[in-house]
Amino acid sequence: MLNSEIVSRVTNTINALTKDSRKSRRYILKVCRDIAETLISQKLGEKSLIKEDNIYSTINCFEMERIDVVKCDIIEFRRCKVVMRSKCKLPKLINSRLGNSLKEVTSIDDEREFKAVTPAQYRRNKERGESDYIYYYVKDGYLYIPDQQILMVNLYLITLETENIDNCSSCSDNENACKSLWEHEFNVPSKLVEAVITSAIQQISMSIQIPTDENPNLNSNEK
């Protein structure tokens, strides 16, 4: 389902309920995405999306660059020989009780899979001399790789910001460059689509029905 399609379904139902909707398409899409994010977060926490491969997106050739170790804002990484950080931010990830929706980070040839780690875990592993893995960490939307000079990786993740995927790939053929926001996929499991639409209609309808207080001074006697 495309972004345009889910917005149209919500809009058409709301217009049938009230003539005074006056909600922009971007607002409706944001509501749908917020609801979808909550539902997907719950499913990730329940480990019930394992077989839903169609909602995962691949970003090949995700570029990394070397940053000044001394100025690195992750204290535990300041003792590393080298720290790599992604050139651009990741598309927005979905967080759950089990972590975020970045499922895999691999070498550019997909031969080696990297391992997620927290800064504290990395420091402890390094103190114990454990160096069998290449580790990664996500902070403020950026991907970090400590003690490895790796210039490019592949990613496998869930994001609702599908319009930003091609922008993050340096080897994209840009076939989607001319697509508008509305032509990109609304990336949600098919079994959750109706729940998203129903909840969005309810939420937006309630906001339309609540009159605006022209004198918001908490005095119920004034109009």
Dig out the tokens for 133 from the structure.
């893995």
Contact criterion met (CB below 8 Å) for 141 and 34: no
Judge whether residue 223 has pLDDT over 50. Answer: no
Domain ranges of the chain: 1-55+177-203, 57-157
Q: What is the pTM of this model?
A: 0.86
> What pLDDT score was predicted for residue 39?
96
- List Cβ<8 Å contacts ≥24 apart for 132-140: 136/105, 137/74, 138/90, 138/93, 138/100, 138/102, 139/73, 139/74, 140/89
Judge whether residue 21 has pLDDT over 80. Answer: no
Average pLDDT for the chain? 89
Judge whether residue 219 has pLDDT over 80. Answer: no
Mean pLDDT of 163-179: 79
> What pLDDT score was predicted for residue 208?
76
Task: List pLDDT tens digits, range 96-141.
Answer: 999 999 999 999 999 999 999 999 999 999 888 877 899 999 999 9
